[in-house]
A and B are shown apart, each in its own frame.
Chain A
C-alpha cells in the first residue's frame, strides 16, 4: 500500500468493520478486537514506521487524516490506533541499537500493539514526573508501577513504561522502558465504566515487570516527550476528535435534509459547526506539518512550537465538543437517542473525553508560563 492510499482504506474500514461493531464495543466497554485485527490485516498498525523499517511510511499530516477517517466509524478504535502510532514513533526515535533495535523491528514487522503507561498514582497524568524507579540487579532490572490510566494495556503486546532512571534519581529524571507484556504481571485495579471512549479499555493498572537492561530506551524520556510524544499525541488525538465532530456535523445535515421543508429554514447551528470545523481543520493541518518537521529533525521543538501544539489540543478538544453539542441541538431526540442514523449520543460522549486527556486546565496553566517567553512568528 502507498501512504497516499491509506486514508481511503481507513475510510472504507470505518464504514465497514469499525461502524459494524462500534455500538457494541461502546455498550460493553470492550476492546474493539475485530477493528484492530482489520487494521493489522491492512498493515495499518505500522503506519508511522518508515518503509525501510517495514512500515507504511506515512507522514504526520497523513497520519492525522487517517485518524480522522477512522474516528467516523469508531472513536475508540481510532484513539487506540492513534495512541499506538505515538508509541511506534517514540520507539523509532529512541536511537535504539542492538537488541532493542531488533525488538523495535519486531514490533513494526509483526504489528504488535504497544500501549503507554505514563500516568501514576499520586502523580496523575503529569507525564514528566515519575515516582516508581527502575531497579537494577546485575544484568536484570525491574519496575513496579501503579498507573492510573493505561489504555488497552491488558490487550497490548508491549508497554512503554516511564519510570525514574534509578531509585536515587529525582522525579524528573526519567527513562522509558519497552516492556513485553509476556514478561510482566498486570493487575487491573478497579473497574472501567466511563462516559465515553469506552472501547479504549483504560483502567488503572499495576505493572510489575522484570527485564534486561537493553529494554531501557537510550534517549532521555524528556527529550522524547518534547520531540515526539507530546506533539504527535496532540496532533493525532486532534485528528480523532475532528473526525468525531465532522461525523456529528454530517449527521446533523442529514437529519435536517431528511426533515425537508417541514422543518422550516435550516438551523444556524449548521453554519456554526462549519466555521468551527474549518478553523480546526486549518489549525490541525498546520500543526501536523510542523510536527512532521520536528520529527524529522528539520525543526526544533522550541517553546513556541510546544505552545502551538498545546494550543491545538486546547482548541480542538473544546471546539469539537461544541460541534457535537450543536449537532445534538439540530438532531433533537433523534440525536439524543443511542440508536438510529441521526444519533450523535456516542459521538458526543466520546468527544467529552477530549478536554480530560491531559487535562485542559493543566495545559492552560503550562501555556500561561510558556507564553512568557514564546516568540511567535
Chain B
C-alpha cells in the first residue's frame, strides 16, 4: 500500500480532518482533559490511552468517515497520535476517490 504524503498535498483538508478526529476523541471521552489540546504528534499511548479505548476509537473513526480500515492498518502504530490517525483516514479516503 502506498501512503499518500497527506500533509504536503492537502493542507486545508488535512487540518479539517485532524480537527474532526480530535473532536471525535473528545466526544468519546478518550483521554479527557488531554486530547482537547494535545500536540497532534504526541504519543497517545504514553499519555495513557488504553487498548480497549483504542477499539472504541477505531469504530468511531470508521463510522465518522465512512471508511473501513484493512486489517494491516488496525495496529497500535496507526492509532499512536492524532496526526497518524489523520494520515490513515486521508490515505483511505484518497483510495476511494475516482
**Which A residues have a C-beta under 8 Å from some C-beta of B?**
128-129, 165, 169-173, 220, 222-223, 226, 300-304, 366, 369-370, 372-375, 377
Contact = CB atoms under 8 A, between A and B. Distances in A.
Contacts of B68: 375
Tier of interface size on chain B: 20 to 34
Contact of A220 (B45, B56, B71): B45
Given A303-B58, A373-B69, A375-B70, A171 B75 contact: no
Contacts of A169: 48
B50 A172 contact: yes
Nearest to A225: B51
B71 A302 contact: yes
A372 B61 CA distance: 13
Contacts of B72: 300, 302
A377 B58 CA distance: 18
A90 B71 CA distance: 24
B47 A222 contact: no
B92 to A, nearest CB: 13
A84 B22 CA distance: 42
Contacts of A170: 47-48
B45 A373 contact: no
B15 interface: no
Given A129-B50, A302-B74, 4 more contacts: A173-B48, A222-B51, A301-B76, A375-B69
Nearest to A165: B46
B29 interface: no
Contacts of B56: 369
Given A170-B47, A304-B71, A372 B76 contact: no
Contacts, number: 65
Interface of B: 45-52, 55-56, 58-59, 62, 68-77
Interface residue SS majority, chain A: loop
A101 B61 CA distance: 40
Nearest to A223: B76
A88 B50 CA distance: 25
B84 to A, nearest CB: 14
A366 B47 CA distance: 21
A172 B43 CA distance: 12
Contact of A226 (B50, B52, B73, B76): B76
Nearest to B50: A172
Contacts of B46: 165, 173, 220
A265 B74 CA distance: 52
Contacts of B71: 302-304, 374-375, 377
A237 B71 CA distance: 26
B62 A172 contact: no
A133 B59 CA distance: 32
B58 A173 contact: no
B8 to A, nearest CB: 26
Given A169-B48, A170-B47, A172-B49, A370 B55 contact: yes
Nearest to B31: A170
A226 to B, nearest CB: 6
B74 A172 contact: no
Contacts of B77: 300
Contacts of A223: 45, 76
Nearest to A370: B55
A304 B55 CA distance: 12
A301 B51 CA distance: 13
Given A220-B45, A301-B75, A373-B69, A128 B51 contact: yes
B74 A303 contact: yes
Nearest to B70: A375
B45 A369 contact: no
Contact of B55 (A129, A165, A300, A303): A303
Contacts of B73: 302
Contact of A373 (B47, B50, B51, B59): B59
B48 A373 contact: no
Nearest to B62: A373
Contacts of A303: 55, 58, 71, 74-75
Contacts of B62: 373
A172 B48 contact: yes
